[in-house]
Amino acid sequence: MANEFLSDHSGKSVVIKAEQKHSRIGRILVEIGVDMEKINPDIIGRIELMNEKTPAFIDDLHAAIKTARKIFKYYEKHKSNEIFSEEEKRTVEIGTLFSDIGKTGPKDATMEQRTLILEMFGIENIENPQMSAEDFLKKYFPEDFDRRSSIFVAMGFNPQMTMRQFWNLHAQWVLGIIGNDGVPPEAVAGAATHQMIEGINPDNIVDKDGKFIKYFGNNAFFDRAEKLIIILDKYYAARRRGGKTHGEALAFVQEQIAQRSPRFANDPEFRILFNDLNEVVKEEGV
């Protein structure tokens, strides 16, 4: 089924894509207003692969989308002069869903390569992010290390790269996978910049003044929509992977920005969004 789905725009691919509308991913896409007919089937196939192999990632993304909607309603209720526009809402919701698609590997990755990369990302809470990819594969996949290592090297990766270096590749892959392939361009920018606090700026698309140097529809600046994607991404990762309470997770994300991103350490939009998230959780929970 997966290989048929990944075929080019053949009749069979269209039939399978219609079936996907009734899958979990199809329902989420419909919920956030994505026109599946306009998106390259390969992109949908990657999200389906994530749901199959690492459903917790999809759980986090869906939870983030639901919380974003609560924040939008909070603005309508308490900050009527600053409400999120419909375009901003779409940027956050669609950008959030596709922000982790890079965990399936680069655009030209085969199904075997995608599965390997995704399963590597699926191992969480690694104590030493400076361990090499080779040591990582030996430790977590000893039963078929040779096979996995050969696939990894065949993709052009240095097995001595650290796991931190490996993880930091996926934002660039996001941009390569969903750029110019049917995903609304405003949301492409939101998804691709979700690692900005780590200093990961794919293709340097955000200049020093926060302006996008490439065309992303009506999305001209890295601002509160993209920052909300980042906060919710880090927040839900901390809640699930770290087992943190709301307060602990919020403090953790704030600390991450303060320590890892001098550029945004005192950013007023981040500060406001943190306060908004805290108020929403106090009012409605998450």
In whole angstroms, give the CA distance from residue 91 to residue 218.
Answer: 10
In whole angstroms, give the CA distance from residue 140 to residue 125.
Answer: 12
Residue 127 CA to its chain's centroid (Å): 22
Does pLDDT of 70 surpass 60? yes
Does pLDDT of 80 surpass 50? yes
| Helices assigned H by DSSP within the chain | 2-5, 11-20, 24-31, 41-53, 55-78, 86-98, 111-121, 133-140, 145-154, 163-167, 170-178, 185-192, 224-240, 246-260, 268-284
pTM here is 0.91
Mean pLDDT of all residues in 61-67: 95
Mean pLDDT of all residues in 81-96: 97
pLDDT of residue 13: 41
Pairwise pLDDT comparison (14 vs 195), residue with the higher score = 195
Q: Percentage of the chain with pLDDT > 70?
A: 92
pLDDT of residue 1: 35
Instruction: Report the 10 Å Cβ neighbour count for 144.
Output: 10
Q: What six digits make up the tokens of 227?
A: 């920052």
pLDDT of residue 8: 35
**CA atoms within a 13 Å half-sphere pointing along the CA-CB vector of 9:** 5
pLDDT of residue 21: 62
**Beta bridge mates, 162:** 132
CB 194 within 8 A of CB 101: no
Residue 271 CA to its chain's centroid (Å): 21
Mean pLDDT of all residues in 31-44: 92
**Beta bridge mates, 211:** 221
Give the Å distances, CA to CA, from 210 to 1, 112, 180, 216, 282: 42, 37, 22, 13, 31
pLDDT of residue 20: 62
CB 170 within 8 A of CB 106: no
- Give me the torsion for CA of 140, 144, 146, 149, rounded to 10°: -50
Mean pLDDT of all residues in 186-210: 96
Does pLDDT of 15 surpass 60? no
CB 158 within 8 A of CB 149: no
Mean pLDDT of all residues in 268-272: 96
Residue-wise pLDDT tens digits, 97-108: 999 999 999 999
Q: What is the pLDDT confidence band of residue 275, given thresholds at 50, 70 and 90?
A: very high
Taking the chain, what is the end-to-end CA distance rounded to the nearest angstrom? 35
Mean pLDDT of all residues in 142-165: 97
Mean pLDDT of all residues in 246-250: 95
